[in-house]
A and B are shown apart, each in its own frame.
Chain A
């Protein structure tokens, strides 16, 4: 099976712009989660989607949003970019929404905000 894929892998944006990142989960996986990784804050949970519904949300401002499509692919959007949004954004998928199952991570999208 192909792994989790994320596009684009690298992105450079300017402050104030918005950005959309894409994640395709492993075939058959219905749950997709997003994480932000920065040197200062480490790995932080953004949100989780299951069957097109947001099930959990981390402690991030409303500028961060996401959605999931019927084929389980997911996108996350960040509006009005700030310098502090520069990070590696990781997507993870798992077969179901059941607690306790491991998540499989993609390679991430490296976002640089200038």
Chain B
């Protein structure tokens, strides 16, 4: 079955520290990968995407992610977080083919502390 796993429901981190949010997906020949951020009472904002090409993708707000096909992972990283990064982060996968729906992970709450 197609699935996305975000093992960490919450990641506490101090301001200016680095962070990594983990995402694994069930294997498939063709996948498109996304990270979205959701601030309280708001919709989802696209942080970055991997469609093809370079496995290291850079997004907005200093975030980056690396696509690892052999480990079926797409972990999100930021070298130095700010208080304003506190939000829920969702990894999503779109499997190539007839279905164009996004399958989301359960989300990771990034809690940045001063």
Residues of A whose CB lies within 8 Å of any CB of B are: 4, 31, 33, 35, 42-45, 48, 55-56, 58, 90, 92, 97, 99-100, 102-108
6 CB contacts below 8 A, A to B, read A42-B104, A43-B107, A55-B100, A58-B101, A92-B102, A105-B43
Main DSSP-derived SS at the A contact region: strand
Partner of B101, one of A4, A56, A102, A107: A56
- The 8 A-B pairs at the shortest CB distance, nearest first, are namely A43-B104, A45-B101, A105-B44, A105-B43, A107-B43, A100-B32, A42-B106, A108-B43
Does B32 contact A106, Cβ atoms closer than 8 Å? no
What total of chain B residues lie within 8 Å of the partner, measured CB to CB?
Answer: 25
Cα of A36 to Cα of B36 in the assembled complex, Å: 15
When the two chains form their complex, are residues A105 and B101 in contact, meaning their CB atoms are under 8 A apart? no
The A/B interface has a contact count, at CB < 8 Å, of 57
Chain B interfacial positions (CB closer than 8 Å to A)? 32, 34, 36, 42-46, 49, 51, 90, 92, 94, 96-107
